[in-house]
Amino acid sequence: MEERIRAYAYIRVSGKSQLTGNGFDRQEETILAYAAKSGYEIVEVFKEEAVSGTKGEADRPAFQEMMTAILRDGIRTVIIEGLDRLAREYRIQETLLIYLASKGVTLISARTEEDVTEAIHSDPMRKALVQIQGIFSELEKNLLVKKLRNAREKVRSEKGKCEGRKGYMESEQHEELLKRIKELRRKKPKQKRMTYQQVADRLNEEGFKTASGKPFTSMIVVNLLRA
C-alpha cells in the first residue's frame, strides 16, 4: 500500500453566524475528498473561528497553533478549501503565502487542486522575500528545537522518562472504538448509511474520546478506518 503524505487542514469562517452553519463542514468535506483521492492523510484540522479574511497571521490563533505544530512535527503540507478561505484580501494572501513558503510549507487548494506556493518560487522578487523570511524562519526553528530539548531534559530529570503522546493505535479504547465505528457505518435495511460526520457526532454523544481528548470529526473517523 502506498504511503500517504501527512498534512494539516486549515479552515476558516469569518462571522459568528457561520459557526452554526455549514461553512466548516463544507470546507472539511472538500479537503477530505481531495486528500483521499490524492494520497494525503489529514493529521489534524485547525479551525479559525469568526476571524475576518482581512486579518493577518498575528490575529489568527488557529493559524499560529498550526505553525507551532508544523515546526514541532515536521509536517510540511497544508490543505485549504480555496485561497479565499486563507484570506479575502490579496495583500493578506500574499503575506501569508510568503510566510508559509519561508517555512518550507506547501499550501494546496483542494478546490483547484494546485500547489499555490509553487508560483512564489518562480517570481524573483517574491522568492527574494521568501529567502529573507527564511533566515528568520531558521532562527525561529533553532530556538524552538532548543526550547523543546530543554523541556524534555527537565521532565526526564524530574520523572526519569519523557514519553510522547500515544496515538490511536496504542490507546486502550482503540479496538472498542473501531468496532463501534464499523457498527455505525454498517448500512441498515431501508436506511441510508451514516455519513462520517454523523458517526463522529454519535461517538461524541456516546462519550468516546480521541487520544488527545478532543471531539471526533469526520476526518478523524476516516483516518481511523483507513489505519
Angle of helix 124-159 versus helix 61-73 axis, rounded to 10:
70
Percentage above 90 pLDDT, the chain: 17
Are the C-beta atoms of residues 139 and 112 closer than 8 Å to each other?
no
What's the rounded Cα separation, in Å, for the pair 130 and 118?
Answer: 12
Are the C-beta atoms of residues 54 and 92 closer than 8 Å to each other?
yes
**pTM metric for this prediction:** 0.55
Each residue's pLDDT expressed in tens, for the chain with a length of 227 residues: 568 899 999 998 876 544 445 678 889 999 999 999 999 999 999 988 877 766 666 778 888 889 888 888 889 999 999 888 888 777 788 888 888 888 889 999 999 888 888 877 676 666 665 455 444 445 455 566 666 677 767 766 766 655 554 444 555 567 788 888 888 888 778 778 888 888 888 888 888 877 667 788 887 888 777 76
Extents of the domains making up the chain? 5-125, 168-226
**Nearest Cα to Cα of residue 41 among 85, 83, 9, 74:** 9
Quick check: helix, strand or coil at residue 34?
Answer: helix
Angle of helix 174-185 versus helix 196-205 axis, rounded to 10:
130
Cell of 63: 493559524
DSSP state of 80: E
pLDDT of residue 167: 47
**Nearest Cα to Cα of residue 208 among 184, 187, 167, 180:** 180
Are the C-beta atoms of residues 204 and 224 closer than 8 Å to each other?
no
DSSP track, 63-77: HHHHHHHHHHH---E
Cell of 146: 532548543
Cell of 214: 478532543
Cell of 147: 526550547
In degrees and rounded to multiples of 5, residue 48 shows phi and psi of: -95, 105
User: For the domain 5-125, what is the CATH code?
Assistant: 3.40.50.1390
What's the rounded Cα separation, in Å, for the pair 8 and 86?
Answer: 14
Number of H helices, E strands in the chain: 9, 5
